[in-house]
Amino acid sequence: MKKLIYMASILALTFTSCDPMEDVYDEVDKANAEELADKKFYSDKTLIEDGYRLVDADFELSTNEDVKNYKNFSISLTAAEFLPEILTNKMLYGETGVEYKVWFDYYRGKSEELSNYRNEHEVSTGEYTAIGGVIADLGYFTSDIKSGDKADEILKAAYSDAVKGDVQKLISKGAASKSYKFEDVSIEASEKFEMSKDDFGVILASVEADDTKKHLVDGTLEYYYGANSKYGNFEARTSKWMAKDEYKDMDEADLEDLIYNRQIEAVIIALKAKFPEAQINDASGKKIIYIVEYSVYDGSTKDNMVRFECTSAGPNPEFAKVGSMYVNTMHQFYMYNGSVWNQIDNDLEVLDDKENNLALAYTLEYNDYKLMGDGDGQPGEYGNFSSSADPNHYLPTFMNNKWAYAQDDEVKLIIYKYYNSGVTELRVDEYTFNKETKWMLTATTVDGSAMVAFKDKIWIYVPPIKLIKTEKDATETYELTAADYELVGNGRYGNFDTRSGEDEEDEAVIVEKLTKILKANYSLKVGDVFEVTYKYYDGAAKTGTMKLEAVADN
């Protein structure tokens, strides 16, 4: 019986005792699994060798729509935030402990001086009203009361906190007329009428109701008067009119005259609907002038103003045109000199106030445009630039002739006229001189770069930080490991060789290697102070310490 119990005990031990190699096997399995996982991870990725430059297609890998669209980084779309994910999505990797430089387009924007010229103030209805008189009635400046006469008053009221050197582009409307004197308003009264979509609907309805004209109706547009109730304007493109049988054989100049005369007829239809009891004079006996404003589309939208008088009083009044006004949108730059807003021109003394660092701006004059060519499509033809006369095509040559002896990095702001969709705008650009390239448009997008590192299989942004020796109290202590020496090429002996003629004889080399090690082990921030312990050999094996402070690397 005892023998059976003894044998059973032996069998139990045989089946329950541990294999002494089991832990070793587990470690091997784990190492093999990690190796396989690494091979799989890196199998579809490309190693960065000596830095990298982002191209447009790379920016499209960002999850940020603005980075995708603008294809650059900026002060608000930083490389620190968006560069790592682009490198990850690009399927790139780097060696552990190595910092890589990545170049990219960086939008730095416009200079402070140029930005000062980007301020705009459009005169409001309330500001026209505050001026009073005929300007309040019209809602425009006239040939007798110009925007320049009221600019200082308007800008002072709008910008009470202005400081010397501030610039505003004043945008206003002005009406000019050869057939009407605004001073005659003293013996006349005015009734202003701004045509709306509903008024154009009245004209359209009159055509639809006329059996001889209704075939010219095309949805919300008709081609007898050209009224378009959808957009609230008159269609004046001759190409559109000539598509109709009635006008296809007409001379273009004759058709233009017909279109204008039909507009006047149409406005009278709208006037009769608006003022069914119109009178010739007001209660004081002054003649009433009906000022009608309407829009015309001839490829761009233009505002027209026409004056009418009532020739036969209601209930079925008659009207006749008495003159046209041409309403222009006007642009002009003004600079505040500390007490007055002055219109900027080439004689304005404040522009030469270098003591106050005010931007030097040059306004192109009539003869300047002529010098750039006055042939068909050239700036001198109409005294402005346009989509067919690109300012950047002409201005560098003009400036190279005018300011041939400028100095490197000299900057000039150029104010010029630009025709855009029926409006002559004032624009301003900045040019910079370089002896090699001469005058060129100042770039708003420049080369930028950042440092990155591949750590724990992810890309991280490396702040522009360097480590310098310091005597400050340490915020962190660190002792170098065998892996650290391996990282910087000192793995064979596990120390730094400071003997004469050896690699680490110069202490700056040790600082450089410690910097690489600390950046590989920590996410540094400005103000960190490390007390680092390391081994060195100067003929005998020794241990040393060094304090290093993280500072901004500008």
CB 134 within 8 A of CB 158: no
pLDDT tens profile 483-495: 999 989 999 999 9
Sign of CA dihedral 42, 45, 50, 53: negative
Name the strand (E) or helix (H) holding 483.
helix 482-487
The pLDDT assigned to 513 comes to 95
The pLDDT assigned to 144 comes to 77
pLDDT tens profile 247-288: 999 988 889 889 999 999 999 999 999 999 999 998 888 889
Surface-to-core class of residue 36, CB atoms within 10 Å of its CB (0-12 exposed, 13-18 middle, 19+ buried):
exposed
Rounded to an integer, the average pLDDT of 536-544 is 95
**Residue 462 predicted with pLDDT over 60:** yes
CB 277 within 8 A of CB 317: yes
The pLDDT assigned to 188 comes to 54
User: What are the tokens at 508?
Assistant: 């700056």
Surface-to-core class of residue 284, CB atoms within 10 Å of its CB (0-12 exposed, 13-18 middle, 19+ buried):
exposed
**Residue 10 predicted with pLDDT over 80:** no
Among 174, 176, 171, 177, residue whose Cα is nearest residue 425: 171
What is the four-CA torsion angle of 398, 402, 405, 410, rounded to 10 degrees? -70
Strand partners for 438 = 434
pLDDT tens profile 136-190: 877 888 777 889 999 999 999 999 999 988 999 999 988 755 333 333 443 456 7
Strand partners for 296 = 234, 302
pLDDT tens profile 290-335: 989 899 998 878 888 888 999 999 788 999 998 665 667 889 999 9
Instruction: Compute φ and ψ for 128, nearest 5 degrees.
Output: -60, -45
CB 142 within 8 A of CB 284: no
**Residue 365 predicted with pLDDT over 60:** yes
Surface-to-core class of residue 250, CB atoms within 10 Å of its CB (0-12 exposed, 13-18 middle, 19+ buried):
middle
The pLDDT assigned to 328 comes to 76
Name the 3-class secondary structure at 460.
strand
The pLDDT assigned to 543 comes to 96
Average pLDDT, the chain: 86
CB 464 within 8 A of CB 451: yes
Rounded to an integer, the average pLDDT of 222-231 is 96
User: Can you tell me the distance from the alpha carbon of 101 to that of 447, in angstroms, rounded to the nearest whole number?
Assistant: 13
User: What are the tokens at 537?
Assistant: 């050999």
Rounded to an integer, the average pLDDT of 108-124 is 90
**Residue 135 predicted with pLDDT over 50:** yes
